Every structure is written in structure tokens, then in C-alpha cells.
Amino acid sequence: MTDSRYIAVPPGAIIPGALPDFRIYVVTPQGKHVLWALEGKKVTTEQLAKLSESGTIEVFIALEEQFKYELYLESNLGNILGNQSMADDHKAEVFSKVSTNVLKVAFETSYGLGTMGTAAIQRTQQFIENALIFIKEAKSLQALAKMIGHDYRTYEHSTKVLWFTVAFLQLNPYIMEQIEPGYQLLDETRRMDMMKQCGIGALLHDIGKAFVSQDILTKNEPLNEVEWEIMKRHPLNGMAMLIDTEIPTFVKKAVLHHHEDFEGGGYPMSLEGQNINILARVLRIIDVFDAMTSRRSYKDPMPPMKAAQIMIGMPEDKEEDEDPKQDDRDMGMRRCFDRDLLKKFIVFLGNVKLNE
Ligand SMILES: [Fe+2]
């Protein structure tokens, strides 16, 4: 029987040499939680080897120490995601948990300050730097596939947009060339830095929603005119929040342009074609794809290939109650996307092992 006073964590998250500031427990065959490691004590390779030999698949942390565990995950993320003995599903779980926490702090502190503070920016940059190697691994695409169909909430959605964006750009360096001519000739450090900046744009594309009330963000019915006007300000607010930060201009523009439609008519500026920042054109596709394939309180997730079909302009099974102005799931959405990028994205989806 599970004991609600404890949470299970994968042993792979406990890395040798780390100094967790929380107690770690194991469960006896009788179901009793017994102390395995004390807080502030280095966990050794020998201890972990013994644990693995005993066939332990999970260790436990007291619920009241969960926040310490989450901070530990964030500060040790690079090592945890690089742990060869840890299952990819567990890595994906750790990655999503840390991403959600980093975003939560970014949203909450930005709301208070009216801008994204230096500490939140640095924390976000650090997170992406640590997560990048894992996201870029080909096998992480299998873990990504399992995330498709999960709930649509701002933090989780932004995490998936980050993951999709980096994985997609990684396989399409010609897009990176458009952001930075000569990208493929840059050294590895510079290429990683460019990818990190794109990841920041993806993760923070909706940061302007920090100023949109939860009532509007979580409303189950179509938004009314006033609410819709407030919602449409989020790209502008997002860019305003990033304007004084060290984030590169192309990323700030991507945040501003991520709801612009390729054939015009998007917001906030109704730009067209190449006038829309290239990263924003990528985000437009991934943002809509994830919204369509996520579970919401009022709809089941759409299968990825059906979403792709609608995005490319081959509609089927039109749902009568959808308001095309308020929801991207409308049949006329082909005008929203850069066709060339959309084709590339659909090819990319073939690399993600979709659960259909
Ligand atoms: Fe958005």
C-alpha cells in the first residue's frame, strides 16, 4: 500500500557525490519506510551499487521535503540527465518537473516585477543549458512522444514547446542558418549557445501570459470579446518583459511574433511572410500542434497525424461548435503557417515515435 507521507523518486536521480539536503528512505518487504541516507551526507557509488543490486526501483522522500528535492534536481540537472544508468522516461520526468518549477518562478516573479528579473533569466538559461544535451539526444524523442496527449497547462505546454523546438531545430540546421548565417561553421560552443537561445524563446514564448488572469487562461468556454483582447496582448507583454534582459533580439522578436500568421491576419501586428521572425514561424507551428494534441478539460487530445492533416489544410470531421476566431483548431489554419517549415515539421514528426 502506498504511504501518502512519502513520494517515490527514481534512484537514478540520486547521483554519486551529491549532497542531498533531504532524507532518503527505502521500503522494506513489509512496506515500512526506513532511512537509507541522511541529509547533508554524500551518497557514494558503493551505496548506489548496493541499492541497484538489491533490485530497488524507487527510493522515497518525505512529502514535506519535496521542495528541497525539486531544488536538488534543478541544481544537479546536468548530471542527472547525463546519468547513463537512468531510464529515459525517468529523465523526461525530471526534465519536466524542473522545467515546470523554473517557469513557475519566472512567471510569478515577472508578474511582481513587471519584467523578467536577472535572477529568473539566469535560472532559465542555466536550466536550458543543463537540459540541452538530453533534449538533443535522438532517443529523447521517444520520451517526447509519450508526452504528446498530456494536459494543456501553460507550464507543461511551454515545456513541450521547448522540447519539440530544440529537437526539430537540431534536425534542421538550415533553419539555424537563417537565424545565424554560417551557423554550421560555428564551433560547438557557439552552436550550443545559439540553440540555448532558441530554447529560451520556446520556453518563454508565453511569458506575457503572466499578466493574463487564471480565470481567462483556464476558461472552458470561448472567451468573450474583452477577454480575447486581453489574451491577445500576451505577445506584446512578453516582449516588454524581456526587453531589458540580455536575451538576443531575435528571441525577443520570436516572442512578439509567435501568433503572427504567415499569410497575414495574426496578432499583434498582422505581419506577413518573411517579415515574421523565423523562430516565431517555427513556434507558431509547434505551439498549435501541441495545443491540438493536448488534453483539455473540454476535449480529448487529437491524434498527432490528424492534427498535422488539419494544419496542412486537409480537414475532416469539422467540429461545429468551434469558434474559428478564438481557437487555432479551425479548418482555415493553413494560412497560419510557413508551408515549407510545416512540411519539415511533419517530416520531423516521422522521427518521433508517435503513439497512434
Ligand atoms: Fe501564445
Is 298 within a domain? yes
Q: How far, in Å, is the centroid of ligand 1 from the Cα of 160?
A: 13
Its pTM stands at 0.87
Q: Is residue 99 assigned to a domain?
A: yes
Angle at 281 between CA 275 and CA 285, to 5 degrees: 155
**Cα–ligand 1 centroid distance for 275 (angstroms):** 18
CB 135 within 8 A of CB 169: no
Handedness of CA 109, 115, 117, 122 (dihedral sign): positive
| Interval 178-212: pLDDT, tens | 999 999 999 999 999 999 999 999 999 999 998 88
User: Residue 71: inside a domain, yes or no?
Assistant: no
* C-alpha span between 28 and 44 (Å, rounded): 21
What is the C-alpha separation between 256 and 240, in angstroms, rounded?
9
Question: In angstroms, rounded to a whole number, what is the distance separating the alpha carbons of residues 332 and 21?
Answer: 53
Report how far ligand 1's centroid is from the alpha carbon of 75 (Å): 29
CA 259–ligand 1 middle distance (angstroms): 6
Q: List, edge to edge, every strand of the sheet that includes 6-9.
A: 6-9, 59-62, 24-27, 33-37
| Structural domains in the chain (count) | 2
Distance CA 13, CA 70 (A): 11
- Asked if residue 68 lies in contact with residue 21, where contact means CB atoms within 8 angstroms, the answer is yes
Q: Which residue has the cell 497575414?
A: 264
Query: Is 356 inside any structural domain?
Result: no
Assess whether 147 and 269 both reside in one domain: yes
Same domain, 32 and 104: no
- Å from CA of 234 to ligand 1 middle: 7
The answer to whether residues 302 and 272 belong to one domain is: yes
C-alpha 329 to ligand 1 mean position (Å): 14
Same domain, yes or no: 117 and 235: yes
Q: In which domain, by residue range, is 10 found?
A: 1-65
Q: Which three cell numbers stand for residue 70?
A: 525539486
Q: Are residues 46 and 175 in the same domain?
A: no
Q: Are residues 155 and 248 in the same domain?
A: yes
Q: Is residue 70 part of a domain?
A: no
pLDDT tens digits, residue range 242-270?
998 889 999 999 999 999 999 999 999 99
Residues across the chain: 356
Domain of 264, CATH number, reads: 1.10.3210.10
Domain end point (choices 65, 87, 116): 65
Q: Could you identify the residue written with the cell 513557475?
A: 104
The verdict on residue 126 lying in a domain is yes
* Claim to verify: residue 22 and residue 80 sit in the same structural domain: no
> What integer pLDDT is reported at residue 329 of this predicted model?
47
Does residue 84 lie within any of the structural domains?
Answer: yes
Same domain, 24 and 104: no
- In angstroms, what is the span from residue 227 Cα to ligand 1's centroid? 14
Which alpha helices (H) appear in the chain, and where do they start and end? 45-53, 66-75, 77-81, 88-113, 118-136, 140-147, 154-171, 173-179, 188-203, 214-217, 225-231, 234-242, 249-257, 278-293, 304-312, 339-351
CA–centroid distance, residue 110 to ligand 1 (Å): 16
Distance 252 CA to ligand 1 centre (A): 13
Ligand 1 midpoint to CA 235 (Å): 6
Q: What is the pLDDT of residue 331?
A: 54
57 and 87 in a single domain? The answer is no
Distance from Cα 310 to the centre of ligand 1, integer Å = 19
96, 7: one domain: no
Q: Cα separation of 333 and 344, whole Å?
A: 17
Instruction: State residue 326's pLDDT score.
Output: 42
For ligand 1, the distance from its centroid to the CA atom of residue 277, given in whole angstroms, is 15
**How many whole angstroms from 118 Cα to the centroid of ligand 1?**
23
Three-class SS state of 280: helix
Number of Cβ atoms within 10 Å of the Cβ of 46: 9
**311, 176: one domain:** yes
254 and 205, same structural domain? yes
Cell for 334?
493553413
Ligand 1 centroid distance, CA of 205 (Å): 6
> For the domain that residue 41 is a member of, what is the CATH number?
3.90.105
The one-digit pLDDT tens for each residue of the chain (356 residues) are 577 899 998 888 888 888 889 999 998 888 899 999 888 888 888 888 888 888 888 899 999 999 999 999 998 998 888 888 788 888 888 998 899 889 888 888 887 777 788 888 899 999 999 898 888 877 777 777 777 777 777 788 999 999 999 999 999 999 999 999 999 999 999 999 999 999 999 999 999 998 888 888 888 888 999 999 999 999 999 999 999 888 999 999 999 999 999 999 999 999 999 999 999 999 999 999 999 998 887 788 899 989 998 998 875 655 555 554 444 444 568 899 999 999 999 999 987 765 44
Task: Please say which residue of 9, 42, 65 terminates a domain.
Answer: 65
295 forms bridges with which residues in the sheet?
151
Q: Residue 82, Cβ neighbours under 10 Å: how many?
A: 13
Amino acid at 258: H
Residue 138 placed within a domain: yes
What's the CA-to-centroid distance between 209 and ligand 1, angstroms? 8
Q: Which among 341, 338, 317 is positioned nearest to 329, based on CA atoms?
A: 317
The domain boundary residue, chosen from 13, 37, 65: 65
Q: Which pLDDT score is estimated for 319?
A: 53
How far is ligand 1, taken at its centre, from the CA of residue 98, in Å? 21
